[in-house]
Structure 1
Amino acid sequence: MEYKIMLVEDDASIAKLLSSHIEKYGYKPIIVNDFDRILDIFIEENPHLVLLDINLPRYDGFYWCRKIRQISKIPIIMISARDSEMDQVMGIESGADDYITKPFYYDVVIAKIKSQLRRCYGDFAPGVSEERRIELEGLTLYPERPELHFNNNSTVLTKKEAVLAETLMRMSPRAVSRDVIMEKLWDDQAFIDENTLNVNVARLRKKLQEVGIDDALETVRGYGYRLNVTWRK
């Protein structure tokens, strides 16, 4: 599985070198060039991890870290020339999982990326040893990895996609209201709009297509969504 790493770094030379190292280790780098659309690009690209510089044009990395944290729990590693204790504290309090000061060794960055990916998606992910599994008509979800399997196909999900998939699979073939789904996905809905839920539903539809299931995630107009794969029997 190819993990996508989003690079938010306004120094083009550093971004290029980081991208080269990330590719060398089998990951897919996504370099952000439009620093006014960082959250939009995050939603569009759906990366597995973000490398986020603090010193950015207009809004700093702390701001964008908080914005990402409103809709996702994926690993965020902050990188900065600032090495003060207060900056590191602000980074962690903004939602970052780790903090790297410049100048840095690129192999150290890769090691930290590997560590966060293992923690979030791999062997060290919470609950992996229990191997919880949810099945529906040949579709299998492993929530703690998190992975979706169908026939001989599989794909890696984000944490939010896994929660959404589990909710819909457990209720299938009944429909689930938008309010219930939003309660499952976000503890605090005050900053969540309808479009954010639509984006997550669209992502899960795409992941279902990746494993070979089309048109199973149905929109129930005026109510919510239903996962219906019984027709595949």
Structure 2
Amino acid sequence: MFKLLLIEDDATLFSEIQDRLQQWSYAVHGIQDFGNVLQEFTTVKPDLVIIDIQLPKFDGFHWCRMIRSHSNVPILFLSSRDHPTDMVMSMQLGADDFVQKPFHFDVLIAKIQAVLRRVYNYSSDAITLKTWFGAAIDSDKNTVTLNGEVIELTKNEMFILKKLLQHKNKIVTRDELIKSLWDDERFVSDNTLTVNVNRLRKKLDELKLGRYIETKTGQGYMAAGEGQ
């Protein structure tokens, strides 16, 4: 049974979501002290965090930063705010997906299932990567290491990197990446993929590897192979 931490201060909405998720055999935990979310997160050790943006004391962006500083657990944002920058900000902070309120519960379930599948089913990926331009790729730890320097990737970022390296020197279309990452492209904006790829490239830049992930305008992305 997956443990979910639902960080939602609206008691009525929390109870409704909790009841529905428990029907799908998820164990749903709430927050008692919204000024001490990180400690409760550490105690629960959830498999996935669902977090509202508008919260008492500190907003969801703050707690996303705090959680990301300690863990790569998948994070899904809920928000009644409809400004595009909220989605962009959440992805830049390391969130895995974003659900706009009000939402159809089937959409929420589909997104939760998609995130859990791609995060916890990595062993089903047939490709085994060792090195890339001298960098060691560790998909179990979600790290890339070069000359003693280590960068940590989120599950999404590592998935994208592995997918591109599986097809080195070939274009992987945006549609293919979206379908692979989110299972059903109806529930994902095109901008979400852009944010994830840009975040991956920025991290790889720390190892001077970002230049090897090329954007093919109007098509998709391509990872260069050695010797290029």
Pairwise TM-score range, normalised by the shorter structure: 0.5 to 0.7
15 and 121 in structure 1: CA distance in 2 versus 1, 3 angstrom threshold: same
CA contact under 8 A between 1:5 and 1:50: conserved in structure 2?
Answer: yes
Distance 1:131 1:19, change over 3 A: farther
Which residue of structure 2 lines up, in the alignment, with residue 96 of structure 1?
A: 95
The Cα shift of 1:79 comes to 0.3
**Aligned residue in 2 for 1:149:** none
Q: Compared with structure 1, are the counterparts of its residues 14 and 74 closer, same or farther at alpha carbon in structure 2 (3 Å cutoff)?
A: same
Written as runs of structure 1 = structure 2, the 5 A alignment for 1:155-166 is none
Cα distance, 1:98–1:186 mapped onto 2, change above 3 Å: closer
CA distance in 2, matches of 1:39, 1:72: 11
Which one of 126, 130, 140 corresponds to residue 129 of structure 1?
Answer: 126
Deviations 1:152-171 (A, max 9, x none): xxxxxxx69xx9xxxxxxxx
Matched position secondary structure for 2:102:
coil
1:54–1:61: 8 Å Cα contact kept in structure 2? yes
Deviation at 1:89, TM superposition (A): 1.0
How far does residue 33 in structure 1 lie from its aligned partner after superposition?
2.5
Gaps of 5+ in 1: 133-142, 147-158, 164-182, 188-233
Question: Number of paired residues?
Answer: 141
Runs of 4+ off more than 2 Å:
125-132, 183-187
Find out whether 1:41 has 2:40 as its counterpart.
Answer: yes
Root mean square deviation of aligned Cα: 2.7
Q: Compared with structure 1, are the counterparts of its residues 87 and 186 closer, same or farther at alpha carbon in structure 2 (3 Å cutoff)? A: closer
Letter in 2 for 1:90: M
How far apart are the structure 1 equivalents of 2:107 and 2:38? 26
Equivalent positions of 1:147-162 (< 5 A) are: none
Determine if the alignment matches structure 1 residue 82 to structure 2 residue 72.
Answer: no
Which whole-Å CA distance do the structure 1 matches of 2:34 and 2:13 have between them?
16
Match of 1:156 in 2: none
Shift of 1:128: 3.1
SS in 1 for 2:32: coil
* CA distance in structure 2 between the partners assigned to 1:131 and 1:49 by the alignment: 26
Identity, in percent, stands at: 39
Instruction: Please give the alpha-carbon distance, in whole angstroms, between the structure 2 residues aligned to 1:86 and 1:185.
Output: 26
